Structure 1
């Protein structure tokens, strides 16, 4: 069964549109094709095809950065001039 198409107008931030167009062109898709794919997934999933939420702040990453800063300041921290020296020390 043939289904007709309709024209829709959307307001999108110009910078967002430009960035998305560049990415989509690299994938061989037009903006229209990408929006159609998105809407098909909305119908198939009976909702948005992805979770909508604020990204988590990576506590682990922040903790690792703080630990690295502490270790860097600690004079007892062993330092290596190259990877071979480090691997040789770890193999002992």
Structure 2
């Protein structure tokens, strides 16, 4: 079995640059990352992540009618009532910690 094989792929220059910048910080050569990706495809018997259209994480309040707006407000109130919220100070502290700010 050959010790290596060549892979030729076209990729957007900005995507390549950003990914390689991150890989450099991690200390992983691009060829090793690609090899890891292919090994995960083999282990998972498919792509090692979900391929789907993400649901929108933010709601544009300006496009909601009154009924939809009330529904969203009720969801927020229900979350508060059962304790699925965090104090704003804790949220900002977590953000600062996560992003070393």
TM-score, length of structure 1 as denominator length = 0.60
Q: Structure 1 segments of 4 or more deviating over 4 A?
A: none
Larger RCO: Structure 1 or Structure 2 (Cα < 8 Å, ≥ 6 residues apart)? 1
Distance in 2 separating the partners of 1:27 and 1:13: 21
1:13 corresponds in structure 2 to 12
For structure 2, list consecutive stretches of 5 or more residues without a partner in the other structure. Answer: 62-68, 71-88, 90-101
Measured on the aligned residues, the alpha-carbon RMSD in Å equals 2.9
> 2:34 matched to 1:35?
yes
For structure 1, list consecutive stretches of 5 or more residues without a partner in the other structure. Answer: 68-82, 84-92
Count how many residue pairs are aligned between Structure 1 and Structure 2. 66
Secondary structure of the residue that 1:22 maps to in structure 2? helix
Distance in 1 separating the partners of 2:24 and 2:31: 11
TM-score, length of structure 2 as denominator length = 0.55
Map Cα deviations across residues 4-26 of structure 1 (whole Å, 9 max, x no partner).
Answer: 21111111111110000000111
